[in-house]
Amino acid sequence: MDKIEQLLAEVRHIKFFLESAETGLDSEGLPSSRVGAASIGIESAFEGFPVLMKMLDECKKEIQGEKRKAPTLADVERISMERGERDRARSAAGKTVN
């Protein structure tokens, strides 16, 4: 998986959480329940933005011609492990994970 594919995967990951927030706000029920459901999605998406911005920066630098090493299997595994840790933490906190 190249850097652009990794960036796309992270964008989709964050998009999922924002769509969950939208669903929560569109749902029927008490305002507190709707906001609570949306809050989970928004907070989860927010947690992913630092990773997304770092990945975007790496893609921009690569495109601008800066010599950067290609991602290694270790890089991909590290990103996957970081995402897994975030997902496990969210699951432990009772938040939805895709």
Contacts of 83 (CB under 8 A, 6+ apart): 13, 51
96 pLDDT more than 80: no
Tell me what pLDDT residue 19 has.
Answer: 94
pTM confidence score:
0.58
Q: How many residues does the chain have?
A: 98
Tell me what pLDDT residue 91 has.
Answer: 82
Tell me what pLDDT residue 43 has.
Answer: 94
Tell me what pLDDT residue 93 has.
Answer: 77
Domain range annotation of the chain = 3-92
Specify the DSSP class assigned to residue 97: -
59 pLDDT more than 80: yes
Q: How far is CA 85 from CA 31, 48, 69, 74, 89, in A?
A: 31, 12, 25, 16, 6
In the predicted model, what is the mean pLDDT of the chain? Answer: 86
